Amino acid sequence: MQTRPAEPDERLQRLRNSTKDCPVTWKGEYCYFIHPLTDGVPRQSASLLEDARDLVLEMVNWDEVDLILGIEAMGLPLASTLSLSTGKPLVIARKRAYGLPGEIAVDQETGYSKGTIYLNDIHEGERVFVVDDVVSTGGTLEALLKAVEWAGATVADVVVVFEKNEGMQDLLKRYDWPIRSLMRVEMDGEKVVLLD
């Protein structure tokens, strides 16, 4: 299983360059960077989304995936392009309930909020690929991956665009899930620092 693409990769370099001088905002004591792939602003270019999609496409063994799970809201653009490129069906972890049979309510907490996310149409025995924009504390991802397993499905692979701070590393220490990222970043005050 491939981890991040080996440097120098022009697509990864463009993604790295897009994080330089990102706007930053504070939500209470939580420092939050604003990026087109994580927030939809500043404007997301088709080429940046295409670069992220292609990097993820090359990392995953799609023969071992039955279903793509995207996480609302900013996991959706990338999940959609991956579904179109692979022909794999797509479901969305939503922030509202539909009340459908088998719906799973997932309580989750991030560095700046908490709430419930709902999973639908994930079946026993399915191999699920999960994609999201960023993992910071790991709270949302942990809750969702537990829910996928609770549904009787297998977490086949997980890729996030940005691994921020230590949340993902903490999950990797505590669980056997195959979680990877395209880039690692951390906040130094109001500056985004690229780690690798």
- Span 107-149, pLDDT tens digits: 877 666 688 999 999 999 999 999 999 998 899 999 999 999 9
For residues 187 and 194, give the distance between their C-alpha atoms in angstroms, rounded to a whole number. Answer: 9
Tokens representing 57 are: 């496409």
Provide mean pLDDT across the span 11-27. Answer: 90
pTM summary value: 0.92
List of residues 6+ apart from 22 with CB closer than 8 A:
33, 34, 35, 192
For residues 155 and 158, give the distance between their C-alpha atoms in angstroms, rounded to a whole number. Answer: 7
6 phi and psi angles, rounded to 5 deg: -75, 140
For residues 79 and 147, give the distance between their C-alpha atoms in angstroms, rounded to a whole number. Answer: 19
**Contact, 134 vs 185, CB < 8 A?**
no
For residues 164 and 32, give the distance between their C-alpha atoms in angstroms, rounded to a whole number. Answer: 10
Arithmetic mean of pLDDT over the chain = 91
Provide mean pLDDT across the span 161-177. Answer: 94
- Span 52-101, pLDDT tens digits: 999 999 999 999 999 999 998 889 999 999 999 999 999 999 989 999 99
For residues 100 and 84, give the distance between their C-alpha atoms in angstroms, rounded to a whole number. Answer: 25
Domains of the chain: 10-194 (3.40.50.2020)
